[in-house]
Structure 1
Amino acid sequence: MDAVSLFVCAPIAVMLLTAIAVSLMRGADAQRWKLCNEASGLALLLTLFSGLLVLTQPSQSFQVLSAAGLYVSPLQAVIAVLVQGVGLVVARFSSRYLEGEPHQRQYIVALSMVLACVHLLLIADHWLILILSWSGVGVFLKRMLCFYAERPFAQLASHKKTVADILADDVLLLAALLSWVSVGSGSMSALLANVSAHGHTQLTEICAVLLVIAVVLRTALLPVHGWLIQVMEAPTPVSALLHAGVVNLSGYLLIRFSALFADSTIANTLLLAIGLITCVFAALVMFTRISIKVRLAWSTVAQMGFMIVECALGLYTFAALHLIGHSIYKAYAFLSAAEIVADTRVAQIAGRQAFAALSFYLAPLLSLTIVLAIQALFATPPWPLWWSLVLAFAWAPVLWWRSSTSDLSPSLRWQGLLSGSLLTGLLTLVSAGFHHIPLGTIDQPRSEYAVAVVIAMGALYLFSVLIHTVPQRLNRLHRWIYAGLYLDAFYTRCVLRLWPVSWGKSTHANR
């Protein structure tokens, strides 16, 4: 194995050795955390260095990696740095957050193994490595989710996630078998090259659909989304790691398999339908919730649905940007949840400030104008025109301004509108500029889905306006939306009927 291969695999070895060392160490937990934090920092540095090597080496230098069932790319390097960075922050935060708690040894081991498995998943180019690493993420993440083993909802969420993970693993095994039969190899690159050169066969079409099903099960999309909401019973740093570096791995795999989905109408339609329904549904539920962490969890479900929609539309560069931005934001949001609670209390004391009715109508037009103006700066439009409408609806609430009856002075209201306009322009500029970074993503916009997506986003925007203007007329819907249409209750009953389980006073020793 050459130097590049060693550096690419080095972070995995570091975290594996850390898990072994921590499990064997005697003494205070502080020493274990010191080792974990130092190892996480070393893994991040190695990941950064290997990423630079990946960006500077010609593609033929990676033949050794390919022969070993591994794969590297600019996007993989960026995501790997992101995950290891989140891992380092979570490790340092956890060492303070869990101070004095029992079973910290098991937590550190599980955290190290999750980071090792995620890194292995990112560089996997063989179906068996992909399945084993993704399964390993689920196994060790379960130990972290059940850190407070006496909490029944934590155990219920973990059990529901385990069932979804097992189903996803079975589906992936079947997809791997079909791929192997189709191309005579377990190499994912061989499958993608074969599909790109010769088009789909019946087996590869089924493989694409099975991969979609596995993604739905692993990404907490409808109807198996409930466990992601209930893991709020886990420690806050676990939520940060889950939402920022684990649950969105499916987005990376969809981008990785983009060649497989290029001409698969069935797979793309299924992705779009589930992603769009999940996005709109979860966003509506989020509007009804009060708890900060629960709102963040529903926000993640909605964001994952939207990222799946981007992949179904062939906008893989946007999906990559979404994945990176979501990871950074959610890591910050969960780890600073206490500050958000304080800010919310200040806002509640100040009272609810009404928005001007005119802003609800003009904001989408102003947002669209800003998006189109920045899009016109580029010789080649970075995305199709209809996607600009989607962005306009998504960013329009940033441009709402306060009504004249609010406590704010006219100058402050205008400053708010100016700030919103600058933010919209900055978001658009970053999105357009990101398309010029050579990450290896190839967009294939599918305009046949444009009308459905624009209508869905328009409907979601309209509902958010109604919440602010005529909330009393939505009282009948409020109970149903708040309960998530009882979809999770139905899924929970199905899981417990298929795999009954009872919880007593569990201990970490018997897990």
Structure 2
Amino acid sequence: MKISPLFYLTCALAPAALMGALAGLTRLNLGAPAKLWRLFQKASLVALAFAVMSLAVNAHDAYWPGAVTATSLSLVLGLLVQLLGTVIGTFSARYLEGEADQRRYIGALAAVLTSVHLLLLADHWLLLIAAWAAAGMALQRLLCFYPERPFALLAAHKKRIADRLADVMLLSAAVLAWREIGSGSLTALWAHIAVQGLSQSLQASAVLLVLAVALRTALLPVHGWLIQVMEAPTPVSALLHAGVVNLGGFVLIRFAPLLEQAGAARALLLMLGLATALLAGMVMLTRISIKVRLAWSTVAQMGFMLLECALGLYTLAALHLIGHSLYKAHAFLSASSVVRETRVQALHGDASRSGASMALAPVLTTSGVFLVLTLAGLAAWPWWWSVVLGLAWAPLLWLPAAQTDAAARTTQLFFGILTAVGLTLAALAAHMLPLGLHDAPDDRLGVIALMGMAVLYLFQVLLQKQAQLLSRWRRWSYAGFYLDEAFTRLALRLWPAHWSPTSSSAVAARPADAPR
């Protein structure tokens, strides 16, 4: 039976329409917050049903060129966004019980979901830019839900600066592309590139796009606001880290036809992504606060995801985006239980550090497995990415240096190997999903990425075995290499913000990245 394109587009756009209508209704006086939360949950479940339906029918030929289009990836992410929005909304209803101004919170949450749904379906530069800007402005209201907290205000101010700079660069990229092809349609842009390749204007447009994504995705050195939003409610952190900040990865995947031929843009993206992944990964190793570690982890993961896009591994980047969203939503919403588990491990003296003697063997083991898969034609990635995965998963095979019980060491090694095998099979199986993506790996950039990840692994080993040698580095790392302090001073000098004297003194007296 042929599915009507109108029915298909209705299913695809219904989640955005429902959440947008709900955002509008919150401006009316509809009663107590509990009633609004029930309305939000019902609307979210209906939107979730439409998201499932749109993914089930998935009529690829049904779209409005130059307005909206639904790809397999955008439908999968639309379902993921609505699922996370429903869960986070349900969690928020209990978390904020008794708080003032819940109506504003519900409206802002619904507005964020509406904007993200529209961005995922955008087939025009203006719709994409407007939806991304709207998502950021709605999120600002959530970040400042507690306006008396100075660090929340500072984080929101720095995010606003980064967002507006990103808007300027996106508009500039759109103007260059529009003038080149005579249309703001992204579908028309892909068709033009396929026939005529990239001109100098489109090369410049790609560079501006990369810079805009770096600003929106909190890459170094504009990452500080992502760390400092820990003062916002926990469900807001879950929404930000699991959803909104990941949008940069989707935009780059969407613009894969442009990036594939833009050598300068890919090289710039590689440098930004690799530097962010390395530095944020080092900082995360020295942090203590659970939520701050999670925030630094997000910065590192964003760098890693954009690195995958620079290397042309778009399928891996999409899978990384989905996995990171699910993990971070769970991690933030269950942060309190993680704290309890960490305390229990500390009381029991759980040793989780390994000796340097066990640092090389795991790399050889995991990398060897991946290389065999690659040479046998079973892996869906180049040989150099096999070694990168080997470096990333080798710590699973590290054994505690203090562990002397042979049986316990054997058991831990067995479960480490089992986990690595499970992750490998999951990665291979996930590549079979019909996401409609085509990879374009670059071997030269891949070797550079491999060397960078080897440096990070070396620091991990030295941190476990020779911590005394890195005492000075640990101080710099704990402070985030002072990159955020430099950006904050520059931002406040160029775009001053005004707080009350009490708030200003609190900001000045407290380290910018202090655990909370």
Fold shared by both chains (TM-score > 0.5): yes
Deviations 1:420-477 (A, max 9, x none): 1111111111212222222111000100112211111111011001111011111111
Residue 297 of structure 1 corresponds to 295
1:468–1:380 distance in 2 versus 1, CA, 3 Å = closer
* Residues 44 and 86, structure 2, Cα contact 8 Å, conserved in 1: yes
Name structure 1 gaps, 5 residues minimum. Answer: 507-511
Residue 509 of structure 1 corresponds to none
Report the CA distance between 1:301 and its aligned residue: 0.3
Residue 496 of structure 1 corresponds to 492
Cα distance in structure 2, aligned partners of 1:17 and 1:103: 19
1:357-396 equivalences under 5 Å are 357-375=356-374, 379=377, 381-396=379-394
Residue 219 of structure 1 corresponds to 217
Cα distance in structure 1, aligned partners of 2:337 and 2:375: 39
Cα distance in structure 2, aligned partners of 1:334 and 1:375: 36
Which of residues 214, 228, 231 is equivalent to 1:230?
228
* Residues 373 and 379, structure 2, Cα contact 8 Å, conserved in 1: no
Residue 428 of structure 1 corresponds to 424
Deviations 1:243-294 (A, max 9, x none): 0011010101101000001111100000000000000000000011100000
Name structure 2 gaps, 5 residues minimum. Answer: 503-516
Cα distance in structure 1, aligned partners of 2:15 and 2:350: 48
Report the CA distance between 1:374 and its aligned residue: 4.5
Residue 513 of structure 2 corresponds to none
Amino acid at match of 1:411: A
Report the CA distance between 1:26 and its aligned residue: 3.2
Amino acid at match of 1:252: F
Deviations 1:142-161 (A, max 9, x none): 00000111000000000000
Report the CA distance between 1:204 and its aligned residue: 0.6
Deviations 1:351-389 (A, max 9, x none): 251424432121101111332344466x45411111100
Aligned residues: CA RMSD: 1.5
Residue 472 of structure 2 corresponds to 476
Residue 354 of structure 2 corresponds to 355
Cα distance in structure 1, aligned partners of 2:97 and 2:462: 45
1:76-475 equivalences under 5 Å are 76-353=74-351, 354-375=353-374, 379=377, 381-403=379-401, 405-406=402-403, 409-475=405-471
Cα distance in structure 2, aligned partners of 1:332 and 1:370: 30
Report the CA distance between 1:75 and its aligned residue: 0.7
Aligned residues: 497
Amino acid at match of 2:360: Y
State the secondary structure of the residue aligned to 1:427.
helix
State the secondary structure of the residue aligned to 2:459.
helix
Deviations 1:70-121 (A, max 9, x none): 0111111111111111101100000000111111110000000000000000
Report the CA distance between 1:22 and its aligned residue: 2.4
* Residues 371 and 425, structure 1, Cα contact 8 Å, conserved in 2: no
Cα distance in structure 1, aligned partners of 2:447 and 2:435: 29
Of the structure 1 ranges 285-294 and 346-355, higher mean CA displacement relative to structure 2 is found in 346-355
Which of residues 25, 39, 50 is equivalent to 1:46?
50
Of the structure 1 ranges 13-22 and 154-163, higher mean CA displacement relative to structure 2 is found in 13-22
Cα distance in structure 2, aligned partners of 1:138 and 1:249: 11
Cα distance in structure 2, aligned partners of 1:266 and 1:18: 43
Cα distance in structure 2, aligned partners of 1:443 and 1:147: 41
1:505–1:490 distance in 2 versus 1, CA, 3 Å = closer
* Residues 217 and 302, structure 2, Cα contact 8 Å, conserved in 1: yes
